[in-house]
Amino acid sequence: MKGLKKIRALLLAAAMLTGLAACGGGKEADKGFTVELSDGTSLKLEKAPERIVSMGPNITDILFKLGAGDRVVGRTNYCDYPEEAQSIPSVGTISKPDIEALLELKPDLVIGSTHFSEETEKQLNDLGIPVAVLYDGENMDSVYEIIRKAGELTGRKEEGEKLAADTKKRVDDTIAKYQGAEYADFVSPTVYYVVGYGEYGDYTAGGNTFIGQLLTAAGGANIAQEVEGWSIDHEKLVEADPEIIVIGLGQAAGFCAAPGYEELSAVKNGRVYELDTYHLLERQGYQNADALEQLAQLFHGEKPGK
């Protein structure tokens, strides 16, 4: 009961603040707009949100890139980029945030992404908090859509359109470069992407995943192309014996030394490469263009960053 009373008190305070802002906010406060979301629903906002809680690491990154970082008042435990986001109060995990902590931040918009639960969305809606969920997809088109919608939701539509267009151009330019005449004799190396390994099983990016598609677009021959999802049999990995292995930062030494992996050709030949997979590949956003470029450079025998 105490928790319920606290929530009601917080909602009353939020309503009073909203009323005061509407009275003193000038013409901008009166400008409402509606955003059509990717799932077919629409969200009407009375004005551009001033207090946003971001429920996804990729969303936080995009909001800062769009110049709306100063309006982010809450984040999840996983929102660690850019660095200044780490000073913003956390409301907990993505799927099960601390609702009371979230309400204390008095948000006028909550933006969710992958793993944001329908239960949490309904709970917030029932409490009168506007919620927009920008779902991840399985291709780069979904990335551009997330960026555009983040721009619309924050009243920065032009910035969102520009960032989406710039990201698409970088992706298209990278693909075009490595399909050019200079690389006419290129033969795709077999590639394995490490998500997890060891006693609990081998996990990678199957051909139907977003990361799997990036590996292919970069010119790699994903040995897990026929895999659906994220799990692969260890025997299949050993049998495929990939030429290149891509793994997260700080993980290569452990992988190479683990039983069952030391005989792989990529390990023997020193072709296990670390990339910042956590930020560049595993979050759908504008930084995926960097990931694609670095992967393409690796696969084509170039040093990433050149």
233-290: per-residue pLDDT in tens?
A: 999 999 999 999 999 999 999 999 999 999 999 999 999 999 999 999 999 999 999 9
pTM for this structure? 0.85
2-165: CATH topology is Rossmann fold (3.40.50)
* Residues carrying CATH 3.40.50.1980, the chain: 2-165, 184-299
Nearest CA to 223 out of 200, 201, 204 is that of 204
| Contact (Cβ atoms closer than 8 angstroms) between residue 52 and residue 72 | yes
184-299: CATH topology is Rossmann fold (3.40.50)
Nearest CA to 194 out of 164, 234, 135, 147 is that of 234
Split at pLDDT 50, 70, 90, the class of 306 is low
41-80: per-residue pLDDT in tens? Answer: 889 998 999 999 999 999 999 999 999 999 999 999 999 9
Q: Where in 80-193 does DSSP place strands (E)?
A: 109-112, 131-133, 190-193
Can you read off the two tokens belonging to residue 60? 């936080």
Entry field: residues in the chain: 306
Cα torsion at 4, 5, 6, 9 (round to 10°)?
Answer: 130
152-189: per-residue pLDDT in tens? Answer: 999 999 999 999 999 999 999 999 999 988 998 999 99
Q: What is the pLDDT of residue 303?
A: 80
